[in-house]
Amino acid sequence: MKPTIALFTGDPAGVGPELVAKLLADPHTGGKANVLLIGNKAGFVGAPGAPVHTWSGLDAPAFERGVVSEKNGRFMLDALTEGARLVTEGKADALCFAPLNKGALRAGGMHHEDEMRWFAELLRHTGSCGELNVLENLWTSRVTSHIPLRDVSAHLTSEKVADAIQMITEALRAAGKAAPRVAVCGLNPHNGDNGNYGDEEGRIIEPGVKLAASRGYMADGPFSADTAFVRAIKTDGSGYDGVVTMYHDQGQIAMKLMGFERGVTVQGGLPIPITTPAHGTAYDIAGKGVANPTAMKNAFEIACRMGASRRMTSEVPA
């Protein structure tokens, strides 16, 4: 059976409603999943082909485009809460949402550094979690995320390295990759050059790789970060499905350079599958009909794969 996806139109002041409309207009979308559409009626113009989910925000008035406000922030938080509820209660298999605006989310009441931590609290998840970035067949996870660069080294631990390896491996498996290959980046120039440029590789990262292996999650590295992605994208069979990076831009620069308008963010480690495009709300072009739906379609595709995997797992007899 097809998975059911709770699909939220995202920030109503941005390009999200347009992206969802283009996704639903694609004749292939209906063959991949059943959709429960979450949004407001005023934002559904041009979004045919999916059952509209009845919820508290359905009759919300139209929002002014390109404007950060408490109103659209609160609307987004309420809609995300509803989408997560549908999945946790078994009425949907995964949640996929169009881009959000963090400024609006904070104005609307989110007091976390990002929506990942907000989701973790909403779902009462106390284990490790983090954003996974996906570009077609290449996935990345990171050991640290939205913190100042000067604080990265102090936040690295072998346990966190092992957790990042475990998280990306489990997510790849849930997306259909039975035996994923994972590479791990070092932190310092030239991988520390045997301690000449820093010792985090030998002191923290290598033990973290070994700790992950002891848990059953194999990975290679650490590799010098300036060559890790060169290794990963090789097509001769020696490439990798996933790369674990030590900090935000170490992976994001590479991924966005290779395909800014195609990337997807997966909220990794959480108890339910959640995906979204990796780009922002594009307030400057909202309402002009020119937004590129590729990343939205890719996010939906991954949500379908992870949702189908979750459904099959839940249907296995005890």
> Do 122 and 4 belong to one domain?
yes
> Do 20 and 120 belong to one domain?
yes
Q: Is pLDDT above 60 for 247?
A: yes
DSSP letter at 52?
Answer: B
Query: If pLDDT is split at 50, 70 and 90, which confidence band does 47 have?
Result: low
Best CA proximity match to 158, nearest among 197, 214, 239, 241: 214
> Do 163 and 246 belong to one domain?
yes
> Do 240 and 204 belong to one domain?
yes
- The pTM for the full model equals 0.91
Tokens representing 225 are 């970060």
Tokens representing 221 are 């590295």
Query: If pLDDT is split at 50, 70 and 90, which confidence band does 317 have?
Result: very low
Domain span including residue 142: 137-261
CATH code (residue 52): 3.40.718.10
Query: If pLDDT is split at 50, 70 and 90, which confidence band does 49 have?
Result: low
Query: If pLDDT is split at 50, 70 and 90, which confidence band does 128 have?
Result: confident
> Do 11 and 105 belong to one domain?
yes
Cβ contact 262:136 at 8 Å: yes
Best CA proximity match to 147, nearest among 134, 139, 156: 156
> Do 28 and 104 belong to one domain?
yes
| Whole-number CA gyration radius for the chain | 20
Structural domains of the chain, count? 2
Q: Is pLDDT above 70 for 45?
A: no
- State what percent of residues in the chain have pLDDT above 70: 97
> Do 252 and 306 belong to one domain?
no
> Do 69 and 123 belong to one domain?
yes
The predicted structure's pLDDT at residue 248: 94
> Do 103 and 222 belong to one domain?
no
> Do 151 and 254 belong to one domain?
yes
Query: If pLDDT is split at 50, 70 and 90, which confidence band does 260 have?
Result: confident
Q: Is residue 132 part of a domain?
A: no
